[in-house]
């Protein structure tokens, strides 16, 4: 393989806690490496031969677990599933103690949990790279896959317009940051009671000042979608919010991505969803399975961008 990166293993950060910590250049380099690793002839390059990734799960997972585990195997390494039901962290051992112990055994740690502070404390006490596989605040690995997918379809990222429709959650937070980093415009359309937190909007806007991107928040999904290139949505009730599902459905009933709403987008728009989807709630099946949908390509790209991230962080 001819590497497109001269600094693939020289990221300025030792961890991935949020994309806000990565420069535009680093993000674009990771996407370039992911595109290389996606080529069939490069699927099984043993770039992490003998390396072991520990994967800690406090939240259930399909795409995160399978993509990280498959990625490590394809890179010649091994991935170890560590449920908090099985390790002592779930029985009272401190995060700091767990991080120090596990980082003495492993070459990298991915953690999928509730609180961003947990990932940050883990990283502060770890001797090896720590990857945020999802928290209530951020989902940076998903956004790397999203950006690769958009780049594959349009050839460029800067100047493209995205509309995120629905709950302002960890996905909208991470998409605002990721879009701002690469110069994409993004509008978040949510009911007023579920709007993005002001500090998250301010963070994204501060990044956007450096790249020329525009960050906008509205309560009108039609306004958000008008003239956009990418329509993105997520479930209305995320993990841990199941008890609120009925109440949330009432608030979000006018925020469904359906055949009527997408008429306001550019004809070449692509539809994205981080999955799993609740069909006929946040999106109709006709849109999810329609010709503009790239959700399964997007899901596959989790594998390729995470392989690039693993090589960059653990290949040192």
Residue 275 labeled ligand binder: yes
Of residues 151, 302, 304, 306, which has the active-site annotation?
302
Active-site annotation holder among 36, 74, 136, 139: 139
Based on the residue annotation, tell me whether 234 is a catalytic residue of this protein: yes
**169 labelled binding-site residue:** no
142: left (phi over 0), alpha (psi -120 to 50) or beta: alpha
Q: Which of 74, 107, 112, 137 is catalytic?
A: 112
Spot the catalytic one: 167, 185, 229, 274: 274
Out of 15, 185, 234, 256, the active site residue is: 234
Q: Would you say 239 is a known binding-site residue?
A: yes
142 belongs to the catalytic site = yes
* Dist. CA 11–CA 26, nearest whole Å: 7
91 labeled binding residue = no
Q: Is 170 part of any known ligand binding site?
A: yes
Choose among 224, 309, 314, 315: nearest CA to 33: 309
Catalytic site residue 248? no
263 is in an annotated binding site: no
Indicate which residue of 142, 151, 256, 306 is catalytic: 142
DSSP labels, 148-193: HHHHHHHS--TT-EEEEES--SHHHHHHHHHHHHHT-EEEEE--GG
The tokens describing 278, both together, are: 């609740």
* Secondary structure letter of residue 237 according to DSSP: S
Q: Would residue 304 show up in a list of annotated catalytic residues for this protein?
A: no
219 is in an annotated binding site: no
85 labelled ligand-binding? no
* Residue 238, annotated as binding a ligand: yes
Measured over the CA atoms of residue 233, residue 300, residue 203 and residue 159, the dihedral's sign is negative
State the DSSP code for 121: H
State the catalytic residues.
112, 139, 142, 234, 274, 302
Bind-site residues = 61-64, 88, 112, 139-142, 170, 234, 238-239, 274-275, 302
Bind-site residues for carbamoyl phosphate = 61-64, 88, 112, 139-142, 274-275, 302
Bind-site residues for L-ornithine = 170, 234, 238-239
């Amino acid at each position: 393989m001819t590497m497109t990166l001269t600094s693939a293993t020289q990221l300025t950060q030792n961890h991935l806690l949020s994309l806000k910590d990565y420069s535009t250049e680093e993000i674009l380099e990771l996407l370039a490496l992911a595109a290389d690793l996606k080529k069939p002839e490069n699927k099984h390059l043993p770039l992490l031969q003998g390396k072991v990734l520990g994967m800690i799960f406090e939240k259930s997972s399909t795409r995160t677990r399978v993509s990280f585990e498959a990625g490590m195997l394809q890179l010649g390494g091994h991935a170890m599933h560590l449920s908090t039901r099985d390790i002592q962290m779930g029985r009272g051992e401190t995060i700091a103690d767990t991080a120090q112990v596990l980082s003495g055994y492993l070459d990298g740690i991915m953690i999928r949990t509730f609180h961003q502070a947990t990932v940050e404390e883990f990283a502060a006490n770890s001797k090896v790279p720590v990857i945020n596989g999802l928290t209530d605040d951020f989902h940076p690995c998903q956004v790397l896959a999203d950006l690769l997918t958009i780049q594959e379809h349009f050839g460029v990222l800067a100047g493209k317009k995205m509309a995120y429709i629905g709950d302002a959650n960890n996905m909208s937070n991470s998409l605002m940051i990721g879009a701002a980093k690469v110069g994409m415009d993004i509008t978040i359309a949510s009911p007023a009671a579920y709007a993005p937190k002001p500090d998250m909007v301010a963070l994204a806007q501060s990044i956007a000042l450096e790249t020329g991107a525009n960050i906008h928040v509205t309560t009108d999904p039609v306004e958000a979608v008008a003239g956009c290139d990418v329509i993105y949505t997520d479930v209305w009730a995320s993990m841990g919010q199941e008890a609120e599902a009925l109440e949330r459905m009432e608030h979000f009933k006018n925020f469904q991505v359906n055949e009527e709403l997408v008429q306001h987008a550019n004809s070449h728009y692509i539809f994205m969803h981080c999955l799993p989807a609740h069909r006929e709630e946040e999106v109709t099946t006709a849109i999810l399975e329609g010709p503009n949908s790239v959700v399964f390509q997007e899901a596959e790209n989790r594998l390729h961008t995470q392989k690039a991230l693993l090589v960059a962080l653990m290949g040192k």
